[in-house]
Structure 1
Amino acid sequence: MDKQTRHATDIDHEGQPASGSRRQFIRTTGALTGAAMAGALGAPGIVKAESTTLETKVAKLGFIALSDAAPLIVALEKGYFAKHGMTDVEVLKQSSWGTTRDNLVLGSKASGIDGAHILTPMPYLLSLGTITANNVPTPMSILMRLNTNGQGISVSNEYKDLNVTLDTRNFGREILKKKASGKPVTAAMTFPGGTHDMWIRYWMAAGAINPVSDISTIVVPPPQMVANMKVGNMDCFCVGEPWNLQLVNQNIGYTAVTTGEIWKDHPEKSFAMRSDYVSANPNATKALVKAIMEAQMFCDDMANKEEVAKICSSRKWFNCPVTDIVDRLKGNINFGNGRTVENSPHIMKYWKDAASYPFQSHDLWFLTENQRWGYLPMKLDTAAVIKKVNREDIWRKAAAELGVAAKDIPKSTSRGVEKFFDGKVFDPAKPKAYLDSLAIKTIKA
């Protein structure tokens, strides 16, 4: 088996260690508070080198075949890594988010990877040991956000007459009727506690569908979503592009909502690296960040969208038709149910409007949602873990060295109060008030 598609044998199909119950995960993670957490997570990588000499020119980075991985692919293909001195960078396809996790745990010294295009909550779950074998932490550092917006929730053509959109009430009634008839009802996402898991749960719960008790939730790797919908394995799924558009192009289902409609300009994927790599190679780490920043700027230029789609569609990267990528990359959305939007305000952004900056307030929302659904304990010291994992200080140093305009560098680590389509408000200063406002949740101590 290829080393990049190897799975740890003690991890189950839902991305959780098979050796213990979720309750045990939560007890273990719950212990990681205060001083104990600091030891478990390890010290953050300190940028201490005075010189600009690169400690290494080597990095092995993972990606999943999703349009939000484009900055890593473009940084390699257009020579931005080499421009910044990182001449021996590999960008390696991962078969699933579980594989990404496993290879990050291994690290490149053990035939794994040093960093990855990754679901934003995963570096936290890795650092806490929540999703690793035997709950052994793998300290991670979030260095930058790769994009905002750009995901979709799609529904099988079985429900085409319902014209499901942001309002899921009719959809909820139909799936309950189907369930009562003895037929399975299934929602698919890409990794427990990840971004797609959070979006589909939020969407369903806002329409009074309980994503824990009303529907079965399964894990399916992004490139396998369309094939599984085609054979009837799911009623709906949440995933990034190009798989929602491919579903439409193959006339198997339709897009109910884009995730930007749920939360405008929401954070999505991150670029994260093992903290031991960051500590040992502070200048090389900054060089990688600068290269990816330049690639993000390239990807956001409308004049380059066709080229980005063509690059990503190749067999080496996504292995799909360019027509499955390019329209939504440009913000032109055919939902597949008669609804079309040109120049969508919810277009995927790689650089514009501070899309690259890893706001700590956004990380707090993801941790809070993981608490909402019982993946993380309420007693978790979220401020402490964010301080360890979020390395926005490296982003700022890289931006300064790259000559990024002051107006494009956020002045605060918080983007402030966030508003959702259903009227809910997340104030980073009051996460408990946000949780209290949510009717459907499965919080555990």
Structure 2
Amino acid sequence: MDNHSNHPAAPGRRTLLKRAAALGGAAATGALLPSIVVAQGSALETRAAKLGFIALTDAAPLFVADEKGFFKKHGMTDVEVVKQSSWGTTRDNLVLGSKSGGIDGAHILTPMPYLISTGAVTANNVPTPMMILGRLNLGGQCISVANEYKDLKVGLDNKEFRKALLAKRVRTGKPVNAAMTFPGGTHDLWIRYWMAAGNVDPTRDITTIVVPPAQMVANMKVGSMDTFCVCEPWNRQLINQNIGYTALTTSELWMNHPEKSFAMRADYVEANPNSAKALLKAVMEAQIWCEDPANRAEVAEICSRRRWINAPVADIIDRVKGDFDYGTGRVEANSKFQMRYWKDNASYPFQSHDLWFLTENQRWGYLPPNLDTKALIAKVNREDIWKAAAKELGVAAKDIPTSTSRGIEKFFDGKVFDPANPKKYLDSLDIKYLRAA
């Protein structure tokens, strides 16, 4: 991409100086110079960006930013928001970059920018530096179970489910499968955490398989897996098609956990800092819009459109509104576990949360135990850009976190993650597969 193409038609320095001279000579010129510097410093380097998304309701801020004109409002008039078929495709297109037919940024599983930046999940382990500009949401994912286990009414407690899975494995001689969307990604970590908390070893007792989100329901229908973790609308669609039910929403595992991020290639951000911030402002404004309960029905309608998720509104609207029918007789209206787009600092990318994701990736052997997590987070997490964007948007000071840490986090099974001591957290976990240093 030519960083000078689509440059905003701003008056040049010489023109501004002539105007200043016309207004009254040297004194006026001196008075105007600071504003000239500001004007030049805030000019957009490009109006173009190519952003990827997966067909999930936590990509709604990107859909809304496009549909409601927020990208254009912030000067980004040439933004393409392009559907990706899987998280693997998202990764591959980020590695390519838009100059080579790929993308500049994406709605993405929060650990992925780190896995891509380290080269842990790229071809030949070649790193592609990435930057997280903001978080897109908190919570809103679910773990679903096949109707084969309907009588168990599986929930947070999976001990009976564990017995049934192990018995099935012995009976059939075949592996029992838990599906997630990307190795080391959020869905992988949620299902592993839940299984391990119930003393199911997700590496030995079951097999974790990768299935793209939009293919989850079809795969469970033909018996490819016994349980899966994904975002909406696929959990609700599973119930509507009478194939399975919801065991839990992931905020029941960890209240208001971080989930997807808005991330971009580092070279795009470095070459186009003002344009990257403009994109983020558009996304943040869309998040505020999505959070408003008065807009939730329209959020669901927008998500349902063919160019976005392409699913019936009936599969989307309840959970976007925060209403959960688990398909087991358990029904919660306006659930406290619903997805958050803006409330509770949903958009702010706490560095402490990135540290948890890195620690869990070390737990399962995706990343080496001797990784310098502090240095990596300092490169990837650009909460400084988020804070600048928030101030320019007029976000109230009380809604802009003053710390890069949300503090100590507590999980449903009593485990505690203190960002100041990740090793203590790792040591407290019975089931783990640390790589040799």
Question: Is it true that 1:64 corresponds to 2:48 in the alignment?
Answer: no
Q: Does 1:424 align with 2:421?
A: no
Between the two proteins, the alignment pairs up a number of residues equal to: 398
The DSSP-based 3-state class of the residue aligned with 1:131 is coil
Structure 1 residue runs of 5 or longer lacking an equivalent are 1-47
| CA deviation vs aligned residue, 1:109-168 (integer Å, no higher than 9, x gap) | 000000000000000000000011011100000000000010000000000111100001
What corresponds to 1:102 in structure 2?
A: 92
State which of 274, 292, 299 in structure 1 corresponds to 2:283.
292
In structure 2, distance between residues paired with 1:316 and 1:267: 26
Q: Which residue of 1 aligns with 2:44?
A: 54
Q: How does 1:240-251 map to 2 (within 5 A)?
A: 240-251=231-242
2:154 counterpart residue number: 164
**Residues 1:217 and 2:208 are matched in the alignment:** yes
The offset of 1:306, in angstroms, is 0.7
- Letter matched to residue 117 of structure 1: H
Are 1:232 and 2:223 an aligned pair? yes
Tell me if 1:116 matches 2:106.
yes
Amino acid in structure 1 at the alignment position of 2:405: S
Percent of residue pairs bearing the same amino acid type: 73
Which residue in the other structure is 2:77 paired with?
87
Q: 8 Å contact 1:49–1:282 — kept in the other structure? A: no
Structure 1 residue identity aligned to 2:85: S
The match for 2:185 is: 194
Matches within 5 A, 1:370-381: 370-381=361-372
Partner of 1:11: none
**In structure 2, what residue type is equivalent to 1:266?**
H
**Segments of 4+ moved more than 3 angstroms:** none
Output one character per residue of 1:307-336: Cα deviation in whole Å (capped at 9) or x when no partner: 111011011111100011110011100101
Say whether residues 1:177 and 2:153 are aligned partners: no
Q: SS state of the match for residue 60, structure 1?
A: strand
**What TM-score, normalized to structure 1?**
0.89
The 8 Å contact of residues 296 and 350 in structure 1, kept in 2 or not, is answered as yes
How far has the Cα of 1:184 moved from its partner? Answer: 2.8
Say whether residues 1:263 and 2:262 are aligned partners: no
Q: Which amino acid aligns with 1:88?
A: D
Aligned with 1:154 (options 144, 148, 153): 144
Superposed counterparts of 1:26-65, under 5 Å: 51-65=41-55
CA shift for structure 1 position 49? 9.6
> Aligned partners of 2:280, 2:56: CA distance in 1, in Å?
19
**Bigger RCO of structures 1 and 2 (CA < 8 A, at least 6 apart):** 1
Letter matched to residue 310 of structure 1: E
Per-residue deviation, 1:441: 0.7
- Matching of residue 369 in structure 1 with residue 342 in structure 2: no
1:50 Cα shift?
Answer: 6.0
Classify 1:373/1:329 alpha carbon distance in 2 versus 1 (closer, same or farther; 3 Å). Answer: same
CA offsets, 1:61-109, max 9 Å, x none? Answer: 0000000000001000000000000000000000000000000000000
1:441 alignment partner AA: K
Between the aligned partners of 1:85 and 1:419, the Cα distance in structure 2 is: 41
Give 3-state SS (helix, strand or coil) of 1:188's partner: strand
Measure the CA separation in 1 of the matches of 2:231 and 2:110: 13
Question: Unaligned stretches of 5+ in structure 2?
Answer: 1-37
Equivalent residue letter for 1:57: R
Structure-2-length-normalised TM-score: 0.90
- Counterparts of 1:124 and 1:185 in 2: how far apart (Å)? 30
d(CA) in 1 for partners of 2:328, 2:46: 51
Q: Any idea what SS the aligned residue of 1:352 has?
A: coil
Which residue type is aligned with residue 359 of structure 1? Answer: F
Which residue of structure 1 aligns with residue 270 of structure 2?
279
The alpha-carbon deviation at position 350 of structure 1 amounts to 0.5
Cα 1:49–1:443 shift into 2, 3 Å:
farther
